[in-house]
A and B are shown apart, each in its own frame.
Chain A
Amino acid sequence: MILAQQLLLGLLIGGLYGLAAAGLSLVFGVMRVLNVAHGELIMLGGYGAFWLAALLGVDPFASLALVIPGALLLGAILYWGLFGFVVRAHEETRVKNSLLIGFGLALALHALAVRLWTADERSIPTSYGGAVLSVGELSIPLVRLATLVLALLLIGALQLLLSRWRWGKAIRATAEDWQAALLTGIDIRRAYLLAFALGTALAGAAGTLVTVAYSVSPSIGLEWTLKALIVVVLAGLGSMMGTFVGGLVLGLAEAASAATFGGPYREIVGLVIFVVVLTVRPRGLFGR
């Protein structure tokens, strides 16, 4: 029964792993630029929700309506100011310099967050925070269940956007083959900009949900970048729902690993997944 409870909690956090990875996967798939500061964007989203709750008393779930547009704007600014320059470079320079820029950005944002919000761990207390749904002997924290459902809805919305919206199709075409997309008259710069802004918006939403269900501190960035990267490797590029499922798998695997080897070793499973997937199926479970 304890094992079932642990696996359940793993599944619940796995939804957020999937959401965190979806934004990264979108940017990586379209721009071939790996933003290693993705976790720091998640962290900023979390502090956005924290500020809205602490200063204006906005309910953390309602704050998504403000955090997502704010993150979209931040993503556009980061694209114009930083990543838009590297995407023009040829492949090797692009990969290398985008990694270096992301790493520098991650350090700077971490230092900025410590300066603005101190290094303390913050959470958002709500009246419904302790509510639990009991199913048999399992107890399901309602807030965490809500974050899982919202993560699924957001990824579904993204999937819909990419398949139905005119610019969504342009983004997918650019991911598929940017030269062919350019030849058919697609403004690939705008596709890049939209992909990066959407990826940042997903990071902001993920950060809000992480802060509601768990907590936020300036140092969570790298940890979330890492979870997202492992899910991207596990799921592969090209399927948003696949990424969500990949997140759930990582959450379950971590819980199983913690239950088997003890809590201190729960992170090791991510590294094992990384090496095994790249060796056995480098395209990832759902990659095309």
Chain B
Amino acid sequence: MTSGGHERRWAAAILAALALLALLPLAAPRDDVLNFVFLILLAITLAESWNIVAGYAGQVNLGHAAFFGLGALVTRTLWTDGIPVLLAMAAGAATAMLFALVIGVAAFRLRGAYFAIGTLALGEILRTTVGNVLPQISTLPAATIASYRLTQRYYLALGLAAVSVIAVTALATSRLGLGMRAIREDEEAAEASGVGALSLKLTALALSTALAGLAGGLFAYYHISYYPSHPFGPQWTFDALQGPVLGAVLYVVLKEYLALHWVDIHLLIFGALFVAIVLLLPGGLVQATERARAVLGGSRRAA
């Protein structure tokens, strides 16, 4: 893991880029551009939120879509019932967090793969059940569609992406984040030096799933019509875990490109590419560039 200063520099660069994107609706008021950037912002939020648990607490959440989906379901239901959208999104985030804690308390007591199993189970069981109970497509009422403003959604996505970057950076440089990294490196040693592993893992999980729930709420606010079970689908988990491995921006650009040019096999290419990167660069692209820089820097110093 890198030092706090390094984390802060990364975050500052990302936030500067996000600030520039705030001008985009004025510079290029085109729906296709805004929609594309919206998808990137959503992927950044999902990736950052997933990485809180995976990167800092060392637990692989294979059901991130469950929390995204719960956020979407609750937000959509409350919002279309007339509750203000921000309040509805908060309720969605709270629901996602609550479910996460129930699973987490059971699964975190064990080591290894049980948390992954539990989250995967939660995601798939909710997807099937929501699909069974709510088989109808959910479409916004005509009045809402008539007053639909893409820029509102865009700025909300921008804000949420910024919040998740700030939250993760604040976590990385805080005492809490230090404790989480200590558990990841060696849980027994961390416990022995007074770090409460279970409560820290649960804190990481709560933060992570609340952000995922907010992202789901944003999705529900953004999409005019979708099947209620769609946000629970495993492709959203995949969107989230691509981030730390490939980089969220590269991921969305590549995916959209492949989806346009190889409609039916783009997921095949993607799955294969993903597996290859995990095998060849077990620490992901960021670690690989850092290692490359360390090697280059080392040789420069030697010369």
Q: Which residues of A are at the interface with B, using a C-beta cutoff of 8 A?
A: 28, 32, 34, 36, 82, 85-86, 89, 91-93, 95-97, 99-101, 103-112, 114-115, 222-223, 225-226, 229-230, 232-233, 263-265, 267-268, 270-271, 274-275, 278-279, 282
Q: Label chain B's interface by main secondary structure.
A: helix
Secondary structure dominating the interface of A: helix
4 smallest CB-CB distances across A and B, nearest first, come from A108-B271, A264-B132, A111-B268, A107-B271
Residues of A within 8 A of B105 (CB): 279
Which of B26-34, B81-89, B120-128, B147-155 forms contacts with chain A? B120-128
Which of A104, A115, A229 meets B121, CB within 8 Å? A229
Bound-state Cα–Cα, A230 to B125, Å: 11
The one of A103, A225, A232, A268 in contact with B241, judged by C-beta atoms closer than 8 angstroms, is A103
Q: Are B128 and A223 in contact (CB under 8 A)?
A: yes
When C-beta atoms are compared, the residue in chain A nearest to B270 turns out to be: A107
Contact B121–A271 (Cβ < 8 Å): yes
A264 to B110 CA separation, bound complex (whole angstroms):
31
CB-contact partner of B113 in A95, A106, A222, under 8 A: A95
Q: When A97-B282, A100-B241, A111-B268 are in contact, do A226 and B124 touch as well, CB less than 8 Å?
A: yes
Cβ contacts under 8 Å, B268 to chain A: 108, 111-112, 115
Given contacts A110-B267, A111-B267, A115-B265, contact A101 B129 (CB under 8 A): no
Contact B238 A267 (CB under 8 A): no
Q: Which chain B residues (17-76) contact chain A, with CB distance < 8 Å?
A: 54, 58, 60, 62
Could you tell me the distance between the alpha carbons of A267 and B267 in the complex, rounded to whole angstroms? 27
Interchain CB contact under 8 A, A111 and B271: yes
Query: What residues of chain A lie closer than 8 Å to B223, measured between beta carbons?
Result: none
Q: Would you call A96 and B58 a contact (CB within 8 A)?
A: yes
Contacting pair B275 A274 (CB below 8 A): no
A250 and B265 CA atoms in complex are apart in Å by 35
Partner of B117, one of A34, A101, A103, A115: A34
Q: Which residues of B contact A (CB under 8 A)?
A: 54, 58, 60, 62, 102-103, 105-107, 109-110, 112-114, 116-118, 120-122, 124-125, 128-129, 132-133, 184, 234-235, 237-238, 241, 245, 264-268, 270-272, 274-275, 278-279, 282
Q: A100 → chain B, closest Cβ, in Å?
A: 5
A101/B264 in contact, CB under 8 A = no
Whether the pair B113, A99 counts as a contact (CB closer than 8 A) is yes
With contacts A99-B60, A103-B238 known, is A223 near B124, CB below 8 A?
yes
8 contacting pairs across A/B (C-beta < 8 A): A103-B234, A104-B272, A107-B267, A222-B124, A229-B121, A232-B117, A274-B121, A275-B106
CB B43 to nearest CB in A, in angstroms, measures 16
Which of B110, B120, B133, B279 has a CB less than 8 Å from the CB of A101?
B279
Contact between chains at B113 and A104 (CB < 8 Å): no
Once the chains are docked, how many angstroms separate the CA of A101 from the CA of B297?
Answer: 32
B110 — which chain A residues lie within 8 A by C-beta? 278, 282
Q: Within the complex, which residue of B109, B118, B125, B234 is in contact with A268, where a contact is CB–CB below 8 Å?
A: B125
